Amino acid sequence: MEKRQQAVISGVFAVLVILVFGYFIIGELTLPSDQGKTGGKTTAAVYAGSWERILPSGKRVKIKIPCKVSAARNETVVVETKLPDRIGTNHYLCFRSAKQDMRFFIDGKLRLDYSTKDTRLFGRMSAAAYLFLEVSEEDAGKVLRVESQTDSAYTGVCYTVYTGQQMGVWSYFFKRYGTELVVAFITFILSVIAIIGSLAVRFFYHKRVALEYLGWGILFAAVWLIANSAFRQLLFPNLSVINDIAFLMIMLLALPYLLYMNAIQKERYEIVYHVMEGLVILNFLVCTCLHVTRLCDFTDTIRSVSAFCILSIIVMAATILVDLIKGWIREYLFVAIGMFVVCIAAFIQIVIYFQKVNLFNGVILSIGLIFLLLFCTANTIGEIIEMDREKQQAIQASESKGRFLANMSHEIRTPIHAVLGMDAMILRESTEPQIRAYALDIQNAGQTLLALINDILDISKIESGKLEILPVTYDFSSLINDVVNMMEMKARDKDLEFLLSVDEQIPSRLFGDDVRIRQILVNLLSNAIKYTETGSVSLAVSYEPQGEMADLVFRVTDTGIGIRQEDMEKLFRAFERIEETRNRNIEGTGLGMSITLQLLQMMGTKLEVESVYGQGSVFSFHLLQKIENKEPVGNLEERMKNRVDAEKYQVLFTAPEAHILVVDDNSMNRRVFRNLLKSTCMQVEEAADGEQCLELVKSRNYDLIFLDHMMPGMDGIETLHAMREWEDYPCKNTPVIALTANAITGAREMYLKEGFSDFLSKPVRPEKMEKMIMQMLPPEKVHHGECLPQYTNEQQELPPLEGIDWEYAKLHCRDQKILQETISQFYEVIEKEAAQLANDLQAVCEAVTDEDRAQACRHYRIRVHAMKSSAAMIGAVPLSGMARMLEYAARDEKIGLLQAVTPQFLEDWRALRQILELVVSVSAVSEEEAQAFDAGLMRECLRLLKEAIAEMDIDTADAAASQLKQFAYPSEEMTEAVQQLNQAVCDLDEEQVIYWCDRLDHTK
């Protein structure tokens, strides 16, 4: 809406502007002039009298003005004219001094003497100026003598003489040179704007813009034009100074352009430019020195200045030409065009200058410069836009990095939850010391990983400003208790003494963010323990009451390696670690300290470090906390010792009548939950999403519901809200506990506000969960005492094998015996199937025509399809999945994929043989057991086998085959044949069975 209004107003504005300016231009051009009506018209004209030069010899020569008479340098040139017979009042003759000292005599009387001898600091000649000689009626017809003298090349220059009233002459000049002045002023203003703009950009973007140089360049040109203009004597009091300024400007002029071009061309021709710049500066210094010392005036050195200017232009043109050839010109096309325009303007200007021996007029050059400035500004604006875009991109990249980190840590936490949960199950259920040891290792590594991810999450939150300090009322003793519990173990593991000293007067309840304080203390203490090899680590808390507040000083002291003074600064930087080489074996991301510092900063305090290198360090910080309960905390150290023993006692309970509902989209999580609760004998039901949960709570009463927050579709909070909207349902009063992997500070409050009874962070800690369940369950359903976990004997029968999911296998083959048999049979045919698939693959590869290939693919597909089913049957789920992929690939005739994956598949497939060996009871017949070979009996067996296989009487066939296996055959060949036969029987391959039977029958 606002945008539209803005657009409408802009449109109206544009129309108004066009109307006003249109009226201005058209009106002034077409309507008749009013100038004749205003009266008081001042006039001026070129003086038309004839002039004579009086040579030093006294000879008179007629001359025409303007001209340059030939005279020796420094010679006084004398010219005379007879004034007109009639002269009006307030009449002037206007001469121009070309750096000459001039004296005017009428009738032998000195009327005007112009010289800046006594007002100038430097230089040997007077500045050029317009001189007004007042003539009255009395002077009519008298002789005017003009003497001019200068120590310069201007000796003998006589400019046009104007006559008229003073104002008239000026207005005449204004008409002639006014444009020049106005254009010069405009140029000046634009250049100032360019300079200010560039400085602003420099200030806001911290980047120098090349336009600044150009601004200076144009400023110099503008000042030069103004200082050289006809009106300078009206604008500036001291003519010599402004004259000098004009020269100084022109001498400096080349410098900013060189700097600008060098920057624009990305310093490709740095050396050339620097040399050029050096020369210009040198020239400037030399000329100035000469001028100041009056050895040589600016006017005389102007040639060298011009030479350097031209040289600079040539250098720039050359570099632009090179860039044009190499194509780099695209980077600064606008600038090049601008430069070109200026060159043309300058050229035209010079031509005009030489054609009319007259005053210098800089209009065209000024316009050229304005063009240059505009083009360069366009170029610079383009650069600024680009810069702005880059800045935006950088900001965006940083933001998405933060988001990525936050998401990642959530994504990583979920699987870790599963790992730790499963591990907790192992620790609970397994009695094997070896396995428990492994599981403990997993737990440690998992906890470390989790801590790491939490660190990363914290730092990304701090960086994005999302982390907040959330003060709550907390129990000081439990804070210390938690920290000590966590840290004492670590210290003990490293054989370090852990000392605790807490002021007994500290109030028991305080108001502050205990989670973050805990984090800070844990960080400091674990750092201290990490970097200490021998000695002790201590935590001391002292206290000073300050009215309503408690001023606590936490002090963590260690006897570790200490910190060098020069490393102190590093300590406070993220990801930096001190003495990287020495401490390589110490794990950590280097984030801990950074987080600690930032947290302390957010709490309005800071960390103080004292350290003696090699002896140890003391980290301390003050903390102001509001007192909630003044009762002193008492002797914590004593209490802690007693507590340690009490903690070891674990509360165990059973609640067989209790019904619990677990809602989580991740089946693994649900399984972990179910297993963790196994020992409580509770009845656990599961729901995979919010909808399912709603169905279930409608149907019956649960004593407790665990509801995952993050779920696809309806999330936990939505589910709870939906539930609470109902008027009446069986679970109306059931406590609902939120499960979340995103345990941020303030989560508890948030969940309570949303209507949950409490929340549990994943990975779930069994003790915490059990305590919570105990609190939430109706007391009559809770029985204290242990319910022994039931060990399932199946697990002992089938050892866990890599790549095989017994649970899955059992889903289909409930009977252990059948499964075992199936596995044995599978085991027998592994090699055969593999060989056949390899053949099929070869056929696929060798197929020439499309038809052949389709056929071969079909064969391959059917084979791999069968293998897929077989693998699934015994629970080799990954392999089955691979087979499925191959099946689809074969269906779509993706030959490349088949070729690439089949070998790996076959390798894995064959590897099953080794894996399954553990569970297959291989009834290898030892030599002693083998029965004596009985040809008759064998033949009978073979006959029976053939019959049985024809009828697909598997039992008989198997029996016959196993009987055949038991003979001690006289030849290797027969043993081999029997093995083949056995495999064929296993595979129920009639053709092969008959073939090998016949072979056996006929071998002797």
Q: Applying CB under 8 A, which residues contact another protein? A: 811-815, 817-818, 821-822, 825-826, 829, 859, 862-863, 865-866, 868-870, 872-873, 884, 888, 936-937, 940-941, 944, 952, 954, 956, 959-960, 963, 986-990
Minimum distance from residue 813 beta carbon to another protein (Å): 7
Report the C-alpha gap between 461 and 792 in whole angstroms: 46
Closest CB 992 distance from another protein, rounded Å: 11
Angle between helices 935-951 and 972-986 (to 10 degrees): 20
- Residue 885 CB, nearest distance to another protein (Å)? 12
Residue type, 541: V
Cα(94)–Cα(879) distance, rounded to whole angstroms?
110
Shortest reach from residue 841's CB to another protein, in Å: 16
Nearer to another protein, 333 or 988 (CB): 988
Closer CB to another protein, 800 or 936, in the complex: 936
DSSP code of residue 110: E
First to last CA, the chain: 103
Give the nearer residue to another protein in terms of CB position, either 772 or 813.
813
For another protein, the closer CB: 45 or 811: 811
Please, what is the minimum distance in Å from the beta carbon of residue 427 to another protein? 33
Q: Residue 636 or residue 798: which is nearer to another protein going by CB?
A: 798
β 704-708/659-663 pair status: parallel
At its nearest, how many Å lie between another protein and the CB of residue 935?
Answer: 10
Closest separation in Å from C-beta 897 to another protein: 17
Of the pair 663, 974, the CB lying nearest another protein is at 974
CA angle 439/444/449 to nearest 5° reads 120
Whole-number CA gyration radius for the chain = 51
Q: In angstroms, what CA-CA distances link 140 with 46, 88, 136, 145, 332? A: 17, 9, 7, 14, 65
Strands 51-54 and 77-82 turn out to be antiparallel
Choice between 658 and 941, CB closer to another protein: 941
User: 613 or 808: whose CB is closer to another protein?
Assistant: 808
Look up residue 279 and give its two tokens.
């020369």
- Kindly tell me which of 39 and 936 has the beta carbon lying closer to another protein: 936
Q: Which is nearer to another protein, 200 or 811 (CB)?
A: 811
How big, in percent rounded to 5, are the helix, strand and coil portions of the chain?
A: 60, 15, 25
> Rounded to whole angstroms, how far apart are CA atoms 343 and 350?
10
Q: Counting Cβ atoms within 10 Å, is residue 386 exposed (0-12), middle (13-18) or buried (19+)? A: exposed
Determine the longest span between alpha carbons in the chain, in angstroms: 170
By three-state DSSP, how is residue 727 classified? coil
Whole-angstrom distance, CA of residue 984 vs CA of residue 126? 124
> Which residue, 629 or 956, is less far from another protein as judged by CB?
956
Measured from the CB atom, the residue of 601 and 979 that comes closer to another protein is: 979
Q: Which is nearer to another protein, 80 or 828 (CB)?
A: 828
> CB-wise, 329 or 937, nearer to another protein?
937
Distance CA 353, CA 879 (A): 93
Smallest gap, in angstroms, from Cβ of residue 857 to another protein?
13
Strand-pairing partners, residue 44, are 164
Is residue 554 helix, strand or coil?
A: strand
- Give the integer Cα–Cα distance in Å for 693 and 115: 107
Cα–Cα distance, 683 to 657 (Å, whole number) = 7
Please, what is the minimum distance in Å from the beta carbon of residue 977 to another protein?
A: 18
How long, in residues, is the chain? 1004
| Residue 932: CB minimum distance to another protein, A | 13
Residue 713 beta carbon to another protein: minimum distance, rounded to whole angstroms:
22
Read off the DSSP letter of residue 621: E
How many CB atoms lie under 10 A from the CB of residue 326?
A: 9
Q: Which is nearer to another protein, 76 or 962 (CB)?
A: 962
CB of 795 to another protein, least distance (A): 20
- Tokens (6 digits) for 100: 């000459």
Q: What is the dihedral of CA 256, 257, 258, 261, to 10 degrees?
A: 120
CB 957 within 8 A of CB 949: yes
Q: How far is the CB of 807 from another protein (least distance, A)?
A: 13
Nearer to another protein, 505 or 825 (CB): 825
8 A C-beta contact, residue 219 and residue 191: yes
- Residue 139 and residue 118: Cα distance in Å, rounded? 30
User: What pairing do the DSSP bridges indicate for beta strands 704-708 and 736-740?
Assistant: parallel
- Smallest gap from Cβ 907 to another protein, in A, equals 20
Inter-residue long-range contacts of 986-989, CB under 8 Å, 24+ positions, other chains counted:
986/825, 986/828, 986/829, 986/961, 987/828, 987/829, 987/832, 988/949, 988/952, 988/954, 988/957
CB of 902 to another protein, least distance (A): 18
Distance from C-alpha of 114 to C-alpha of 133, rounded to nearest angstrom: 11
Least separation, in Å, of the C-beta of 955 and another protein? Answer: 8
In the complex with another protein, which residue's Cβ is closer, 9 or 950? 950
Structure tokens at 637: 């150290």
Tell me the β-bridge partners of 732: none
Bridge partners of 51, per DSSP, are: 63, 81
**Nearest distance in Å: CB 881, another protein:** 11
Position 90: which residue type? N
Which amino acid, one-letter code, is at 548?
E
